[in-house]
Amino acid sequence: MKQIKLIASLIILLIGCLSCTKGQNEEPQPIPKRTLLVYMIANNSLDNYSYQDIDEMISGITKENLNGGNLIILHAPRNTEPELLQIKEENGIANKFHIKDYIGLNPVNPSEMRQVIQDVVSLYPAESYGLLLWSHGTAWLPADYRKMTKAFGQNGSNWMEIDELAQGLPNNLFEFILFDACYMANVECMYELRHKANYILASATEILGEGYPYTQMIPQMFEENLQLDLIGKTFYDYYNQKSGDYQTATISLTRTSGLDNLAEIVREILADKTESDLYAINLSQIQRLEFLQNSPGMLYDFQDFIRQLATEEQFTRFTHALNQVILYEAHTSKAYFAYLNYSYPINQCSGLNIYVPQEKLTTIFDWYKNRISWYKAVYPQ
């Protein structure tokens, strides 16, 4: 009996040793190349489009074209609690899978936004991260301006100001940010977010409710050799081949590392300019890129604006610096604006819009001075 027990003990010990050896020889699983978080704030008039866009994402992905990456969505729709989803292929079928609920989440609260991002990074670590910000947008314009602007991310009656969006995003985490939201290719916004991502793809005008053509664009976001300019071209080509008011697209890719140098040149150009000089600019000579409800016209083409103020030598240096920042830009000959209900000619688009100070807009200019980093960086203090 003792001999049998001894033999059994030796067998158990041998199995244990083999198990340990096997565990030690297992190769660690490779970390995914990329995790993309789609931060979809749809508790607003875009709610139905959010479901359509999720379906487009599902139809556009396969296990192969995700390249082992993770496609994660924070979906905050109307009349339903926000939830975290993953889109992936299982058993040859692409679908969305529920990860967790966020009961009571306010997705436009900076600290709560940061918590969602931390959750995604913890659950889906990767070599690099991308962020797609999906909602309404009006560049940096404050949410209470005549009760009609949204800054970014309308969640019911709540919005994020651009400096609050910056607070909600960790520094130096994202390789790129894409905005499926109107007006966010704005120099004030790019400067505010310059430490948040290496590259930002956005539109200087409005984006139709249909938004990005996700079936084509999502696979491009997971390619081994990421080419954000080609993603922008996909957006442009999709709308440029349409007709009438549906042929509308402005898109640009900003490299944020060049923004500080650009700001230095603009600061030099503005150094001897008074508010009276700014107010004297003939706005009819600058390409207008914004038509919001009851708006007197606040966002204009960045390069057109600087052309009115710079010497020839300054403008040459400015243009060179801007070309180091804008890596890709494309625009249709006209852009549709919902408030106008027709398409307006786009004769000039440098890739970014900018706020042009006006004497009649003293309240908004005061807000601009107090809250916007671009103002503090380039205007005489």
- DSSP per residue, 331-377: E-SEEEETTTTEEEE-----S-EEE---TT-HHHHHHHHHH-HHHHH
pLDDT for the residue numbered 146: 60
Domain CATH number, residue 60: 3.40.50.11970
pLDDT for the residue numbered 381: 86
How do 83-90 and 70-77 pair as beta strands? antiparallel
Q: Map tokens 């096997």 to a residue.
A: 22
Q: Map tokens 């905050």 to a residue.
A: 76
Asked if 117 and 37 touch (Cβ cutoff 8 Å), the reply is yes
Q: Is residue 357 part of a domain?
A: yes
Q: Is residue 27 part of a domain?
A: no
Q: Are residues 165 and 254 in the same domain?
A: yes
pLDDT for the residue numbered 86: 98
Q: Are residues 96 and 156 in the same domain?
A: yes
Q: Are residues 226 and 297 in the same domain?
A: no
pLDDT for the residue numbered 249: 97
92, amino acid identity: G
Radius of gyration of the chain from Cα atoms? 25
Q: Are residues 237 and 274 in the same domain?
A: no
Asked if 82 and 76 touch (Cβ cutoff 8 Å), the reply is yes
Strand runs labelled E in the chain: 34-42, 70-77, 83-90, 93-101, 128-134, 152-155, 158-160, 174-180, 197-202, 250-255, 299-301, 326-331, 334-337, 342-345, 353-355
Please name which of 196, 232, 14, 24 lies closest in space to residue 110, comparing C-alpha atoms: 196
Of 205, 237, 258, the one marking the end of a domain is 258
pLDDT for the residue numbered 70: 98
Q: Are residues 202 and 282 in the same domain?
A: no
Q: Is residue 22 part of a domain?
A: no
Q: Are residues 102 and 202 in the same domain?
A: yes
Q: Are residues 272 and 252 in the same domain?
A: no
Q: What is the 3-state secondary structure (H, E, C) of 78-118?
A: CCCCCEEEEEEEECCEEEEEEEEECCCCCCCCHHHHHHHHH
Asked if 130 and 218 touch (Cβ cutoff 8 Å), the reply is no
Q: Are residues 241 and 308 in the same domain?
A: no
- Determine the Cα–Cα distance for residues 190 and 171; give it in Å rounded to an integer: 14
Q: Are residues 82 and 180 in the same domain?
A: yes
Q: What is the extent of the structural domain holding 100?
A: 34-258
Q: Is residue 15 part of a domain?
A: no
Q: Are residues 232 and 318 in the same domain?
A: no
Please name which of 318, 323, 294 lies closest in space to residue 306, comparing C-alpha atoms: 318
Q: Is residue 55 part of a domain?
A: yes
Of 209, 225, 258, the one marking the end of a domain is 258
Q: Are residues 245 and 285 in the same domain?
A: no
Domain count, the chain: 2
Per-residue pLDDT of the chain (381 residues; tens, 9 = 90+): 334 333 334 333 333 443 444 345 556 678 999 999 999 999 999 999 999 999 999 999 999 999 999 999 999 999 999 999 999 999 899 999 999 999 999 999 999 999 999 999 999 999 999 999 999 999 988 876 665 556 788 898 889 999 999 999 999 999 999 999 999 999 999 999 999 999 999 999 999 999 999 999 999 999 999 999 999 999 999 999 999 999 999 999 999 999 999 999 999 999 999 999 999 999 999 999 999 988 889 999 999 999 999 999 999 999 999 999 999 999 999 999 999 999 999 999 999 999 999 999 888 899 999 999 999 999 998
Of 228, 258, 288, the one marking the end of a domain is 258
Q: Are residues 185 and 281 in the same domain?
A: no
Please name which of 355, 349, 348, 350 lies closest in space to residue 374, comparing C-alpha atoms: 355
pLDDT for the residue numbered 13: 39
pLDDT for the residue numbered 29: 72
pLDDT for the residue numbered 6: 36
